[in-house]
Amino acid sequence: MMQLLTGPLFVASLLIFVIGLVVRAVLYIKGLDAKLERVAYSYHRERSVPGAAMSIIKWLIPAGTAGWRTQPVAMVLFFLLHFGAVLLPLFLLGHTVILEQCTGISLPALPNNVADILTIASLSALALLALRRILSPVLRQLNSFQDWLILALTFAPFFTGFMAMHSASSYDLWIQLHVISGELFLVLAPFTKLSHIVLFFMSRAQLGIDFAIKRGGDTRGGVFPW
Amino acid sequence: MHSITLRKTCLYCCSFLLLGSVFFLPKIALSDEILIVKTPAVESPSMPKVMFNHDKHVNFVESHDGDCSRCHAMTSAGLSTTVLNVKLQKKSNQIPYLHMECTRCHAQAGAGPSLAECRTCHVVGARLEAKK
């Protein structure tokens, strides 16, 4: 079972994840309006490149933008979730060992106790973000089935990984569930809102370029003060 | 007189138990021989040491070709006591070497943990009992 899960099924889900997200990025660019966007963006490189870069960077910094500062609780939960979601898949010791054996690329590994703290922070943030969705009337209106699905898809690999690490008697079960839930996440990411893994960068770049070139961009020296 | 007989009886019983235990204990230990892998020596380990069930592996090899060189390299001093050529590897490569050799054989045999099942080999406490 594990040989199948960690062999062909893992490779297949990784391929679907990478190719799927690349396709989503290409479709995003192809979907831009030829006259309004594509033509306008191809001029004024001196404004579009820093505009795109600053839009991405500022939104990746906690409280880096007015948008983050107006909702501090959601911001804290968001960053707690995403620190773990970005760092753990790449730098958890077990993951770096597998990466090194498969590709020869050796990444530094997080100490196990730091990984534990990141996992607990991410799981807590997910639970509180779910609570926020239930309590906020606006979010209750906006929430769809898919929104709950991707929350569960994100919760599962953290939870099963943590249980595998710390459960004394059911390691085999938890590690299998961990691999299955991780692969489900990879497979479904390109087809759900989890595609924001790549589309966040696309749309932030586009907005950064847009506000740097059009909408009074030249009067601000190129970069919108997010 | 009675007291001397009792003492003698006790002495015989104790001797018998002592001899019995010396005779039987190694067999009990060998029936589930768990070896702690100490090569390579890791100064500040991130993971618990590998608890290796040697008998399970011996049984597998015996039921196939009986070839101990699957795991033990032939050296001038006989079969290596460590896994294959781990001692010939650079220190930084010894752990990746063991990971690769062990899991490759497991994949070929269709048995034993894959590289993703860290804690099947790196076990502590209660899990060791389950592993037996």
Report DSSP state, residue A65.
S
Does the distance separating the beta carbons of A94 and B107 come in below 8 Å?
no
Instruction: Write the pLDDT tens digit of every residue in A114-127.
Output: 999 999 999 999 99
Give the tokens for residue A52: 């795109």
- Select, from the ranges A58-72, B2-16, B100-114, the one with the highest average predicted confidence (pLDDT): A58-72
Among the partner-chain residues A93, A98, A169, the one whose CB lies closest to the CB of B115 is: A98
Q: CA–CA separation, B57 vs B60, rounded Å?
A: 5
Q: Per-residue pLDDT averaged across B37-62, rounded?
A: 85
Chain A residue with minimal CA distance to B115?
A98
Measured between beta carbons, which residues in chain A are less than 8 angstroms from residue B114?
A: 2-3, 6-7
Residue A198 has pLDDT above 70, yes or no: yes
Query: What DSSP letter does each residue of A106-142 carry, written as one string?
Result: -PPPPPHHHHHHHHHHHHHHHHHHHHHHHH-HHHHHH
Q: ipTM above 0.85?
A: no
Closest to A84 (Cα-Cα) out of A51, A45, A123, A52:
A123
CATH of domain A2-220: 1.20.950
Query: What DSSP letter does each residue of A74-101 carry, written as one string?
Result: HHHHHHHHHHHHHHHHHHSHHHHHHHHH
Chain A residue with minimal CA distance to B92?
A106
* Neighbour tally for A119: CB within 10 Å: 20
Amino acid at the residue B118: C
Domain ranges of chain A: 2-220
**3-state SS, residue B1:** coil
Average pLDDT, chain A: 92
Instruction: Write the pLDDT tens digit of every residue in B97-117.
Output: 999 999 999 988 888 898 999
Chain B residue with minimal CA distance to A167?
B127
No. of helices (H) and no. of strands (E), chain A: 12, 0
